[in-house]
Structure 1
Amino acid sequence: MQYSQPMDRPVNPQSPAGDRATPLRHRDDLIAHGLVRPEDGPLLDEVAARYATAIPPAFLSLIETPDDPIGLQVIPSPAELTIAPHERVDPIGDDALSPVPGIVHRYADRALLKPLLICPLYCRFCFRREHVGPEGGLLSDDDLNQAFDWLRARPAIREVILTGGDPLMLSPRRLRRIMDALTAIPHLETIRLHSRVPMAAPDRMTSEMLDALETDRAFWMVVHANHAREFSEAARAALRAIQRRGIPVLGQSVLLRGVNDSVPALEGLLRAMVTARVKPYYLHQLDPAPGTAHFHVPIHEGRALLEALRGRVTGLAWPTYVLDIPGGHGKVPIGPDYIGPAGDSVRDPNGVRRTLGGDVL
C-alpha cells in the first residue's frame, strides 16, 4: 500500500472506532481511521485470521500516514500473506527449548519466563506472531508454580528475563506475585523485563505498576523502540517514572525496511534513546517469521549503516548488531569489522586504514 497524504481519521462516536480509550483491533476500525483501504478488506480478513492487530491510542496518535515509520510497524498489510521459503513459524526455536509452559532455556545461565502472550500492540514483524494475541497464553497459577519450581531446581540459572507477550500487560497484583516469587529464589541474581508498554501504552506505567517491580535483586528494563518518533512526551514521562525508581533502562530495536534503514533514521533513533537516558543495547537483524520479508534489510546494509554512524554518534548510542541464528542456536554479533585481514591494521571511523605495530593488535 502506498499513501502520500496525511491520513484522514473519520470517527463515528457511535461505533467501536470512536472509542479512543481502547486499541484499534478490527478491519472496520482501521478503515474508519483511514489506515487501510476498503478494497483491501478481504485480504486483511485473511491476515486477521492468522495474526492479531492492536493499535493503542498513544501509538495511533503518532501515525502521520499509514506507510510512515510508525504505521508500517503496526498496521496490517496484505504483504503478510506472502510467505518466503526461508521463513519459519518458530524462527528462533522457542518451542523446542521450552521444558515447561512459559519457560525458554537457551543459555546455561539464564532463562526466559513468558507469563502471558498478550501485547499492547502487535508488531507486524514479530518473531512470535504465530502465538501472541489478545486471547493468548496467560499462564495459570499451576503453570506459574511449575515454572518457579523448574527455576528453583537449577542453581546454574542466574538471570530470568520476563518477556512474552508483554509482562507489563499483567495486572500489578499478578506482576507483584511473579516478582516476589523470583526474588525469593536464592540463586537468581538478576531479573530483566522486556516491554513495549512505555512507548506504546505509557498510561499503564502507574505507581501501582512501578511498585510491583520493587525487588532487592538487580533489575533491568529493556524497552523496544524502532523510530525516534516513538519517544513521545508521554513515553518520556513513563521512562522518567521508571528511572526515578532506580531502574536502569536499555533499548532494543529491529532493523526494518522503511522504518529505520537509513543513516538519518537510525541515528535519530539512537540519539532519541540516549536523550531519554535509555542505553541502546541490541539492534536485531529481522527474524524470519512468516509474512515479514517486506521488512527485511540485508546484513551487509545493516553493517554499512553502523559503519556510517561510527564516529558520528557518541559511543553511548552504539548498539550491538546481532543475529539470532534461526533454529534456536543463540545470538551472535554481526557488526562491522575494523581489524585488517592480516591483523596488523585497523580502519578508522572515516574508513582509512591505519597500520599499528608492536603489541597493539
Structure 2
Amino acid sequence: MTLHPQATLRAQQMLPRNHRADKWADVPDAQWYDWKWQLKNRINTVEELEEVLTLTESERAGASAQGIFRLDITPYFASLMDRDDPTCPVRRQVIPTHHELESFTSMMEDSLAEDKHSPVPGLVHRYPDRVLMLVTTQCASYCRYCTRSRIVGDPTETFNPAEYRAQLDYLRKSPQVRDVLLSGGDPLTLAPKVLAGLLSELRAIEHIEIIRIGTRVPVFMPMRVTQELCDVLSAHHPLWMNIHVNHPKEITPEVADACDRLTRAGVPLGNQSVLLRGVNDHPVIMQKLLRELVKIRVRPYYIYQCDLVHGAGHLRTTVAKGLEIMESLRGHTSGYSVPTYVVDAPGGGGKIPVAPNYVLAQSADKLILRNFEGYIAAYSEPTDYTGPDMPVPAEWERSEPGQSGIWGLMQGERISIQPEGFNATHQRPGAVQHRLNSREDKWAAYGVGAGENVTDTAPDGMVEEPQVVIGD
C-alpha cells in the first residue's frame, strides 16, 4: 500500500528509514522487514546486548541477574537505542538495570488486583459494561515497567483453546458486556489465524458492540502491520486500537507507515503512554510526543501513572510531576493532543482521572473558573434548570448492580457508600437506644427509627435503598 504523500513528507523529518545498528547492517531487506525474522532474532542475553550497546555495570548486573522479568528486544527496536548513552529514553524502557532488584514502598506483584476480578482465567471484569480479555502472554519486546510481568514472558505458559472457550462462554452469558479489550501480552504476536478466529467469535456475540486491541507491536515491530493483518482487522469492525509510544524517538518512518496502513483499514488509533522517569517526565518532551502522534493520525488517549509493580520503582515519578505536565498541555496545544492523565488505583479501583483544578468556586448560580494562563472568569448558571425532561428508551439503560457508584448517589439510588465495617466501627460500647427510636408511629414516615436499611417512603416520594458497603 502506498503511503499518503503528506505522511511520507512528515516521515522524512523523523529518524532515517531503514535505520539499523551495525550488527544488522548486512541483513537483506527481505529479512529485515519480515516480522517473523524480527521475532526469531530478538536479543536477550548480555553477550548479544554488548554487540549493540556499551553496557553500564548497572545494566550488565540487571541483564545477568537470575529471575528478572524476561528480556527480549526486536532488532528493529534495538536499533533505535543509542549505543553509548545509558540515558537514551528508548534504552531505559527495555534494558534492565540493577534497580529492578530493589524493593520500594507499596510494591506489589498484581498491583491492579486483576486476578481478583477474573471470573475465568485471562478475563478481567472490573467495569460494568466492558472486559479485558488476555489472549497471550507473549510480546514482541518487553517493557521494564510492565504491569503484568507476573504472568507475561514465559513462552511455555500461554493461553490455550480451552481457556479461550471459557472466556467466550462467559461473554456469551454476560449481556451487560458491550466492549471487549484484547490484550495480554500483545494480541498482534498471535498467529494470524488465531487472531482472526478470536475476532470472529467475538463479533458473533450479538451484545458485543466494540472490540479494542491494545498493542505495542506497531512500535516494537512495525513490519507486522501487513496488508494481510489490515484485512483481518477491517473484516471485524467496529474495531479500535490503542498503541503505546512513550517518546518521540520511537516515531519512525516505519511506525508512520504502519499507522497509515491501519487508519486506511478503518481502524481508529489512540495512544497510551506511561509517565516514566528519565524518559518522558518533562513537559517539552511530552508536548513533542503528543504533537508527533497527532501528525500520524494517532489520538493521545491516556498518560498512565506508572504502576506499583515489582521492578519498576526506579522508573516512577510523582503524581505532582504528572500534573505539572498536564498543566503544560491544556491551552498550550490543541485539544486533540491532550490525553487524560490517570492513576490505575492499587487494589483494583480502576483508572482514576487526575487533572489540574480549573474550578475555583461554585454557588447555586455561578461557577468561578480559571484558564491555563491564570485568567479567572465567572460563568453564570441557568436558574430555571430542573434537569432533563425527555424520555429515555428502557433498552438504552444498562446497569450492573452495585456499580453505579457516585452517579447512583446523585440519582437517589441510595444515601451512602460505606467502607467495609463502617457501622461496626461506629457502634460504641454501651450505646443505648434513644427514646425517639421507640416512637415508630410518629417518625417511621420520615425514615427515622427504622433501623440501618431504610425502605419506608419519605415525604417527597423517594424510596431510600439500603446502603452499599464497600468490600461486601
Partner of residue 116 from structure 1, selected from 104, 124, 136? 136
Other-structure match for 2:209 = 189
Partner of residue 213 from structure 1, selected from 233, 238, 262? 233
Partner of residue 193 from structure 2, selected from 149, 173, 187? 173
Q: Please give the alpha-carbon distance, in whole angstroms, between the structure 1 residues aligned to 2:277 and 2:382.
A: 42
Other-structure match for 2:50 = 31
> What TM-score does the superposition give when structure 1 sets the normalisation length?
0.91
Other-structure match for 2:263 = 243
Other-structure match for 1:61 = 79
Other-structure match for 1:315 = 335
Q: Is the 8 A contact 2:218 2:243 kept in 1?
A: yes
Q: Please give the alpha-carbon distance, in whole angstroms, between the structure 2 residues aligned to 1:97 and 1:105.
A: 6
Other-structure match for 1:346 = 369
Q: Please give the alpha-carbon distance, in whole angstroms, between the structure 2 residues aligned to 1:181 and 1:189.
A: 13
Q: Is the 8 A contact 2:200 2:236 kept in 1?
A: no
Other-structure match for 2:98 = 78
List aligned pairs for 1:226-237, cutoff 5 A: 226-237=246-257
Amino acid at match of 2:217: V
Query: CA offsets per residue over residues 152-199 of structure 1, 9 Å max, x none?
Result: 011110011000000000011110100110011111000000000111
Query: CA offsets per residue over residues 123-176 of structure 1, 9 Å max, x none?
Result: 111111122115154211111111111110111100110000000000111101
Q: Is the 8 A contact 1:219 1:247 kept in 2?
A: yes
Other-structure match for 2:448 = none
1:39/1:258 Cα in 2 relative to 1: closer, same or farther (>3 Å)?
closer
Amino acid at match of 2:73: I
Q: Secondary structure at the match of 1:213?
A: helix
Q: Percent identity?
A: 35
Q: Please give the alpha-carbon distance, in whole angstroms, between the structure 1 residues aligned to 2:180 and 2:24.
A: 45
Deviation at 1:341, TM superposition (A): 3.7
Q: Please give the alpha-carbon distance, in whole angstroms, between the structure 1 residues aligned to 2:24 and 2:144.
A: 26
1:269/1:166 Cα in 2 relative to 1: closer, same or farther (>3 Å)?
same
Q: Is the 8 A contact 1:176 1:212 kept in 2?
A: yes
Amino acid at match of 1:33: V
> What TM-score does the superposition give when structure 2 sets the normalisation length?
0.70
Deviation at 1:42, TM superposition (A): 4.5
Q: Is the 8 A contact 1:303 1:336 kept in 2?
A: yes
Q: Please give the alpha-carbon distance, in whole angstroms, between the structure 1 residues aligned to 2:371 and 2:59.
A: 50
Q: Secondary structure at the match of 1:237?
A: helix
Q: Secondary structure at the match of 2:140?
A: coil
The range that moved more, 177-186 or 302-311, is: 302-311
1:110/1:136 Cα in 2 relative to 1: closer, same or farther (>3 Å)?
farther
Partner of residue 349 from structure 2, selected from 329, 333, 341? 329
Partner of residue 378 from structure 2, selected from 347, 355, 358? 355
1:10/1:200 Cα in 2 relative to 1: closer, same or farther (>3 Å)?
closer
Q: Please give the alpha-carbon distance, in whole angstroms, between the structure 2 residues aligned to 1:98 and 1:318.
A: 32
Partner of residue 301 from structure 2, selected from 281, 288, 291? 281
Q: Is the 8 A contact 2:72 2:141 kept in 1?
A: yes
Partner of residue 157 from structure 1, selected from 169, 174, 177? 177
> Which blocks of at least 5 consecutive residues in structure 2 are unaligned?
1-20, 26-31, 384-472
1:192/1:233 Cα in 2 relative to 1: closer, same or farther (>3 Å)?
same
The range that moved more, 50-59 or 231-240, is: 50-59
Deviation at 1:272, TM superposition (A): 1.0
What is the number of residues matched between the two proteins?
Answer: 347
Q: Is the 8 A contact 2:60 2:97 kept in 1?
A: no
Q: Is the 8 A contact 1:35 1:75 kept in 2?
A: no
1:173/1:216 Cα in 2 relative to 1: closer, same or farther (>3 Å)?
closer
Deviation at 1:310, TM superposition (A): 1.8
Higher relative contact order (CA 8 A, sep 6+): 1
Amino acid at match of 2:332: R
Q: Please give the alpha-carbon distance, in whole angstroms, between the structure 1 residues aligned to 2:24 and 2:233.
A: 39
Deviation at 1:12, TM superposition (A): 9.8
Q: Higher Cα Rg: structure 1 or 2?
A: 2
Query: CA offsets per residue over residues 276-305 of structure 1, 9 Å max, x none?
Result: 101111111111101211111111111111
Are residue 107 (structure 1) and residue 130 (structure 2) matched? no
Q: Please give the alpha-carbon distance, in whole angstroms, between the structure 1 residues aligned to 2:106 and 2:299.
A: 32
Q: Secondary structure at the match of 2:341?
A: strand
Query: CA offsets per residue over residues 58-104 of structure 1, 9 Å max, x none?
Result: 21121123321111111111111111121110011111111112211
Q: Secondary structure at the match of 1:309?
A: coil
Deviation at 1:35, TM superposition (A): 4.7
Superposition CA RMSD, Å = 2.1
Deviation at 1:57, TM superposition (A): 1.7
Q: Secondary structure at the match of 2:271?
A: strand
Q: Secondary structure at the match of 2:47?
A: helix
Amino acid at match of 1:61: S
Q: Is the 8 A contact 1:311 1:349 kept in 2?
A: yes
Q: Please give the alpha-carbon distance, in whole angstroms, between the structure 2 residues aligned to 1:105 and 1:147.
A: 11
1:39/1:266 Cα in 2 relative to 1: closer, same or farther (>3 Å)?
closer
Deviation at 1:43, TM superposition (A): 4.5
Amino acid at match of 1:352: Y
Query: CA offsets per residue over residues 240-276 of structure 1, 9 Å max, x none?
Result: 1111111111111111111111111000110011001
The range that moved more, 92-101 or 231-240, is: 92-101
The range that moved more, 213-222 or 305-314, is: 213-222
The range that moved more, 153-162 or 133-142, is: 133-142
Q: Secondary structure at the match of 2:355?
A: coil
Other-structure match for 2:283 = 263
Q: Secondary structure at the match of 2:260?
A: helix
